[in-house]
Structure 1
């Protein structure tokens, strides 16, 4: 594995390149861009699990940190802006096509959780991505509109959230301290103390806040004043028209509150792709598909033949 950087405008994007066994730079290889979940980083599931295994299967895999997050550049920190996230994919492709050992017509994309929604959206308008895979992908805009920024549940909660974002952005423009939200409790014990019962939140805490998946850059933070663009975004907008590449969706058979299960079927129904499929991994949850061998091995057993066929 090599650590590299590439540019998104004037920002450095930090990435890890995973290589196939016996890698020979004088040969050409198919490549896959692998994208991390919301609040995650390249050292977690997109790189050390899926990136490493896809490399073992013969692919050069580029797992990157989103701009304004992880080890990538950009100030202020922890911006979660869909437009920026999608542009990262295009810049990742820009980087790959400069490498002599990459077959430019054999580049695919994979995204996990929110990274899956971004991967789909990027592929709609960047035709260098020839095959699209998602693992427990979440349409982040849909999740935001369903109250992820608020405990309110009535129909006006989204509008109130947008007013709060606007108020905070105005305050910060006038010199106030930024509001940085942390999505998860500090530990599973803290989650229990708070009385949290939501499966996805509990399992996210177990993953991100313990040795299971904890990494210095996987901090699950977001800058509240910059969340307006996410609230108004739909990862799968125009999929009925623009998403034509072969598509392999993977979801867990245990639905959670973040909605990856229904987002998977929504994408399946909306995609224009002639070749599209969804794998439901029985008895496994959203976060099982991040790390649990019984889950990830089933996902990869479908994804690797899919990429082999189309790349």
Structure 2
């Protein structure tokens, strides 16, 4: 593995590039960009799990920290702005095509959770991406719009964002909130029983997956663009690359990746598209648990070998 950086606008994006066994710089290899979930970083599932496993199977993999997050630059910090996230993918391709050992005609993308939604969205307008894989892909815009599931959840959030921007314009400190509770005790105190939220805490806030680049912090005002964004918008017209979707068949949770997977499958124009249900696996099982991850890779690896 080698840590590198590439540019997005005026700042650098931090990434880890992994190489196949017996890597030979005089050869050309297919490459896969690995995108992390919302609130995550390259040291977690996108790089340390899927990036590593795919490199073992003969691919060069590039896992990056989203702009304004992890070790990447960009301001305001801890923003989750879809336009920045999607541009990161284009810039990652820009970097890969400069490497003599990457075959520019064989670049693919694999996104996990929110990174899957971003990967799909990027591929629609980045034709240098030749194949798209997703693992428990989630549509971040839909998640934000649903909010507390009330009829006007999105409107209430936008009103709150407007008030916060006014306060910050007048000198108030930026509001940085958390994505999830910081412990299972906080879940219990809040009466949270949802499988996705509870397993998110177990993944992000314990030694299982905890990393410094994933501090559970979100710039509140950055939510506004997401509320008007749909990861799968125009998939019916623009998403034509081969597509493989992995969802978990276990208990569905609040993040909705199971239904998003079927929604994406129905909407994608791709002539070659497949949907894999890993039976019994929850959303977070497919982040790092050996059995479910192995099941996902059983179909992801041949998919990428066929199309890259």
TM-score range, shorter chain: over 0.9
Match of 2:164 in 1: 168
SS of the residue 2:130 aligns to: strand
1:85-96 alignment, distance < 5 Å: 85-96=85-96
Deviations 1:209-252 (A, max 9, x none): 11110000112221111211001000000000000000000000
- CA distance in 2: counterparts of 1:7 and 1:212, whole angstroms: 31
Deviations 1:271-293 (A, max 9, x none): 00000010000000000000101
- CA distance in 1: counterparts of 2:171 and 2:53, whole angstroms: 46
Match of 2:103 in 1: 103
- CA distance in 2: counterparts of 1:188 and 1:159, whole angstroms: 30
Match of 2:282 in 1: 285
SS of the residue 1:6 aligns to: strand
Deviations 1:35-86 (A, max 9, x none): 0000000000000000000000000000000000000001221000001000
- 2:258 aligned with 1:261: yes
Cα displacement (A) at 1:183: 1.4
Unaligned residue ranges in structure 2 (runs of 5+): none
Contact kept? 1:252, 1:281, Cα under 8 Å: yes
Unaligned residue ranges in structure 1 (runs of 5+): none
- CA distance in 2: counterparts of 1:90 and 1:165, whole angstroms: 29
SS of the residue 1:227 aligns to: helix
Cα displacement (A) at 1:188: 2.2
Match of 1:239 in 2: 235
- CA distance in 1: counterparts of 2:150 and 2:293, whole angstroms: 37
- 2:221 aligned with 1:225: yes
Q: CA RMSD, aligned part only? A: 0.9
Deviations 1:133-157 (A, max 9, x none): 000000000000101xxx4x33222
Cα displacement (A) at 1:256: 1.3
- CA distance in 2: counterparts of 1:204 and 1:226, whole angstroms: 21
SS of the residue 1:297 aligns to: helix
Match of 2:136 in 1: 136
- 2:247 aligned with 1:251: yes
1:300 paired residue among 279, 286, 297:
297
Cα displacement (A) at 1:191: 2.2
- 2:220 aligned with 1:197: no
- CA distance in 2: counterparts of 1:32 and 1:246, whole angstroms: 14
- CA distance in 2: counterparts of 1:128 and 1:216, whole angstroms: 32
Cα displacement (A) at 1:195: 2.5
- CA distance in 1: counterparts of 2:89 and 2:113, whole angstroms: 15
Match of 1:73 in 2: 73
2:178 paired residue among 162, 178, 182:
182
Cα displacement (A) at 1:158: 1.1
1:41-60 alignment, distance < 5 Å: 41-60=41-60
Contact kept? 1:16, 1:63, Cα under 8 Å: yes
TM-score, structure 1 normalization: 0.97
- CA distance in 1: counterparts of 2:281 and 2:150, whole angstroms: 31
TM-score, structure 2 normalization: 0.98
Contact kept? 1:169, 1:226, Cα under 8 Å: no
- CA distance in 1: counterparts of 2:182 and 2:154, whole angstroms: 27
Cα displacement (A) at 1:170: 1.8
- CA distance in 2: counterparts of 1:285 and 1:154, whole angstroms: 25
SS of the residue 2:70 aligns to: coil
- CA distance in 1: counterparts of 2:63 and 2:15, whole angstroms: 5
Match of 1:39 in 2: 39
Query: Comparing 196-205 with 169-178, which one deviates more in the overlay?
Result: 169-178
Query: Comparing 156-165 with 35-44, which one deviates more in the overlay?
Result: 156-165
